[in-house]
């Protein structure tokens, strides 16, 4: 089975289990790039490069989806981001 087929199968499984939601991170005038990057690495399991790209998107576009999944998995992650002072919500 190819990687593409495996990813497709995993996505199909997720969509069958429940509606996919997103954690959206919003820009603010309080948090530093380093804090945002460190938070995304720690909470969302991003690589440093991925977290850096998300931080840049948030800065320049105003928001960025940082994690996708079912609500029950995203809720504790979003709560931790909020506890760290970031502006985020589940959509």
pLDDT in tens, 33-85: 999 999 999 999 999 999 999 999 999 999 999 999 999 999 999 999 999 99
Per-residue pLDDT at 55: 97
For 49, the token pair is 């490069």
**Whether pLDDT at 3 is above 80:** no
Question: CA–CA separation, 48 vs 80, rounded Å?
Answer: 18
Domain 19-90, architecture per CATH: 2-Layer Sandwich (3.30)
- Give me the residue spans of the domains in the chain: 19-90
Residue 63: which of 22, 19, 32 has the closest Cα?
22
CA atoms within 13 A on the CB side of 53: 7
State the Cα angle at 68 between 66 and 69, rounded to 5°.
Answer: 145
């Amino acid at each position: 089975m190819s990687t593409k087929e495996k990813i497709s199968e995993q996505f199909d499984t997720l969509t069958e289990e429940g509606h996919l939601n997103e954690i959206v991170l919003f820009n603010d005038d309080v948090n530093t790039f380093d804090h945002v990057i460190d938070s995304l690495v720690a909470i969302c399991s991003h690589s440093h490069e991925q977290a850096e790209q998300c931080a840049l998107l948030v800065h320049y576009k105003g928001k960025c989806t940082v994690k996708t999944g079912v609500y029950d998995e995203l809720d504790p992650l979003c709560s931790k981001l909020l506890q760290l002072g970031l502006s985020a919500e589940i959509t």
